[in-house]
Structure 1
Amino acid sequence: MSDQIFEYLLERKLGFGKHQLRQFFIISFIDFLDGAEFLFLSLLTPTLKQEWNLSIVELSIFGGSFNLGLMIGSTICGFLADKIGRKRILIIGTVLQTGVVFLTVFAQNILQMILLRLTYGTVIGMNLPISSILMIEVTPKLHRGKIIVALQIMILLGRCWIMILGYIFMEGISKGNWRAISLCNSMPCLFCLIGTIFWIQESPRFLILHQEIQKGIDNLNNIGQFNNSDYEMLTDNEILSLKEWASEQHLHHQQENNSIKQLFNSENLPITWRNYLIFFLFMFTMLAIFNILPFILDDENKSLLHLYIVDIGEIPAIFLMLYSIDTFGRLSTLLLSTTLLIIILFSIWVWKFQIIIMGLIIFKFCCKINWGTLNVLFAESYHTLYRSLGVGTTMAMGRIAGSLAPFVVFPIYFNNNYLPFLICGVCSFFMLILLISYPIDLTKKPLDQLKKQ
C-alpha cells in the first residue's frame, strides 16, 4: 500500500473538511487580488495615459512591467518553493504584496509606477503558483479539480471588488481617483498576510518528501483532528508506509533531485515543452486582448458599465468548469473551450464592432475556462519533488508572453483595431494542436505515482 499511502490517508482517514476549507479561504485571497489587479490595470492604463500623457512606448513598458514581474516571481517560486517550502515563499510574497499595494498610492510618475507594477507582479508571480500547489497537495483526488476551479470564483470576486471601487471613485474608463482604489486594495492584502502567518500549514507531502517526517506526520494529524473530532492518530504501520513511500520516491528521482534537469528527462520532456508553449500562446492571446480591451471599448464609445459587462462571461465559465473538469476531464474541457475561443476570435475579426460586446463576453468565458483548467493540468502533471519548479517555470513562460504582448499589440491596434483578434486566433489554433497531443490527464487519479517499468 506504500505506493499510494498518501492518497489513501487523504481520502479515507483525513478526508475533505474544515482544514481544506479554511486553507482555501485564506489562499483564495491571492486569487482575489490577482483578479482585482487585472481589472484595476484595465482602469489604470487608460487613466494614466490621459493623466500623465503617456506615449505608446511608455504605455507598452507599463503594460509589460506587471507581466515581467510575474515572470520573475514565477521563476523565483519555481526554484525556491521546492527547496525552502511553500509556506515560507507565501509569507515573503504576502508581506511584499501588502507593502507594494500601499506604496502605489503615492506614485508620482510613470517610472515609479513601472517599478511598483514590476515589483507587484513579482510577488503575485511568487504567490499564485503556491496557492494552487498548496491546495492540490492536501486535497483528496476526487476534489482536486473542483477546489482549484473554485479559486477562480475569488478571481471573479476580486474583479467585482474593483467594479464597486470603480463606481465609487472613477468617472469613466479613463478618468478617476485610482489612488483611492489602490489604497482600498491594500486591505485584502493585509488579511491574506495575517491568515497566511497564523493559519496556513506547510504541505505535509512536501515535508515528508524532504525528510522532515515528523513535521509532516504532525501536520497530517492536525488536519485529521481539525476535520474530524473522532479522528484517530496515524498508526505505526501508516507511518512506516509513509516512510517507505518517501524512500521509493527519492530512489526514483535521486539522480535529478532539486534540478531543472528533471523537467527535461525522458519522462517529463513531452509534458514540459508542451506546457511552456501552451501557456505562452494562451497568455499572449489573453493579455494581448486584455491590454487593448479598455481602448477598444473607449474607441467604440462604450461606457465603464460595458467594461464590467464583458466580465459576465466568467460567471457561467466557473460553474461549467466545476462540472466539466472532473466529469469530462481536464483535456476534454480545454479542447472544447479552445475551439470556441478560436471561433470567437475569428468572428470578432470578421464582424468587428457589430459583435464586439458579445464577442468579448464569450472570449472572457473561454479564457476563464482555459486559465482555471490549465492551472490544474500543469500542477498535476509534475511530481511533488519538483512541482513548484515545473509550475513556476511554466508560469514564467506565460508571463514572458504577457510582457511581450503590449509591445506587439499596441502598435498593431493603433493602426488596425481588429487585426489583433486575427493574430490571437492563429495563436489559439496552434495551442489547440498542442492540447490534442498532450500526453497525460490525471483527472481523479493519484499524484506522484511512479512509472511502471
Structure 2
Amino acid sequence: MTQRRDLQALIDAAPVGKMQWRVIICCFLVVMLDGFDTAAIGFIAPDTRTHWQLSASELTPLFGAGLLGLTAGALLCGPLADRFGRKRVIELCVALFGALSLLSAFSPGIETLVLLRFLTGLGLGGAMPNTITMTSEYLPARRRGALVTMMFCDFTLGSAMGSYGVDLNCGWTKFMKDQLSTIASSNNLN
C-alpha cells in the first residue's frame, strides 16, 4: 500500500506526460466507441424491424439484452481488472464488443441478434468502468475530476455520433460492419 501511495504522490507532483496523455486518449476513444455501440441498436431498430418483419414488441428483448450484458460486464470485469490488470481487461473487452458487433451484422434472425447483443454488452459493460478507473489512476489529483467528467461526456458524444453514422439506405448490416473498422482502428493505438 505504501508503494501505491508513493506512486500516486509522484503522479500528483509531476505534470501530465506523453505516456499519460496517450493512455487518456486511448481510454477516451474506448468510451466513445462504447457509447456509439450502446446507442447503435436504437438507430438500426427500424430497419431491423422491416428487414425481419417484426412487431414492435418483438424488438423489446433486443434492447433489454444489451443492457443486461452491460450490467453483467460491469459487475464481472471490475474484479477481473483488479486481478489481471486494467489494460488486459480493457483490450479483451474492446476485442469482444468489436468482434461481436461485427457478428451481429450477420445475424440470421432476431434470436441470434438478441444473444449477440447480450454478449456484446458484456464487453461494453466491462470497458466503461475500467477505462474510467484507469484514467483516474494515471492522472494527478488536481486534474482527475475534470478529465473523469469528460470521460462520461465522451460516452454521450459517442452515442450521438451514431445518429450521424446511420444511413438506412445502406441497411443495418452495413452500419454494424462499419463499426468494426472504427473499433479495429482504436486497437492499433496501443
Q: Which category describes the TM-score, using the shorter chain as reference length? A: 0.7 to 0.9
Show the counterpart of 2:145: 145
Contact 1:27 1:192 in 2 (8 A): no
Structure 2: distance between partners of 1:154 and 1:85: 23
- Distance change (3 Å), C-alpha of 1:51 and 1:143: same
* Structure having the higher Rg: 1
Which residue does the alignment assign to 1:183? 177
In structure 1, how many angstroms separate the alpha carbons of the residues matched to 2:79 and 2:57?
Answer: 32
Deviation at 1:123, TM superposition (A): 0.7
Deviation at 1:160, TM superposition (A): 4.6
Partner of 1:419: none
Question: TM-score normalised to the size of structure 2?
Answer: 0.87
- What's the TM-score once normalised by structure 1's chain length? 0.39
* 1:86 counterpart letter in structure 2: R
Percent of aligned pairs sharing the same letter: 24
Give the match for residue 28 of structure 1: 28
1:4 offset after TM fit, Å?
A: 4.9
CA contact (8 A) 1:162 1:181 kept: no
Q: Is the 8 A contact 2:69 2:117 kept in 1?
A: yes
CA RMSD of aligned residues (A): 2.1
> In structure 2, what is the equivalent of residue 348 of structure 1?
none
Give the equivalent residue in structure 1 for 2:124.
124
User: Which amino acid is 2:9 matched to?
Assistant: Y
Contact preservation (8 Å) 2:35, 2:157: yes
Aligned residue number for residue 12 of structure 2? 11
Tell me by how many angstroms 1:109 deviates.
0.8
| Superposed displacement of residue 7, structure 1 | 3.5
Report the CA distance between 1:57 and its aligned residue. 4.5
* Runs of 5+ unmatched residues, structure 1: 200-453
Pairwise CA distance, 1:148: 1.2
Amino acid at match of 1:9: L
Aligned to 1:192: 186
How many residue pairs are counted as aligned between the two chains?
188
Secondary structure, counterpart of 2:164 in structure 1: helix
Q: Which residue number in structure 2 is paired with residue 222 of structure 1?
A: none
Separation in 1 of the partners of 2:23 and 2:138?
Answer: 10
Give the secondary structure class of the aligned counterpart of 1:170.
coil
Which residue of structure 2 lines up, in the alignment, with residue 54 of structure 1?
54
Please give the secondary structure, in 1, of the residue aligned with 2:165.
helix
1:80 aligned to 2:80?
A: yes
What are the Cα deviations for residues 201-237 of structure 1, in whole angstroms up to 9, with x where unaligned? xxxxxxxxxxxxxxxxxxxxxxxxxxxxxxxxxxxxx
* Structure with larger RCO (C-alpha < 8 A, sep 6+): 2
Check whether the contact 2:48–2:172 (CA below 8 A) recurs between aligned residues.
no
Paired amino acid for 1:23? V
Whole-angstrom CA distance in 2 between matches of 1:71 and 1:159 = 18
CA distance in 2, matches of 1:63, 1:114: 8
Give, in whole Å, the separation in 2 of the partners of 1:148 and 1:102: 29
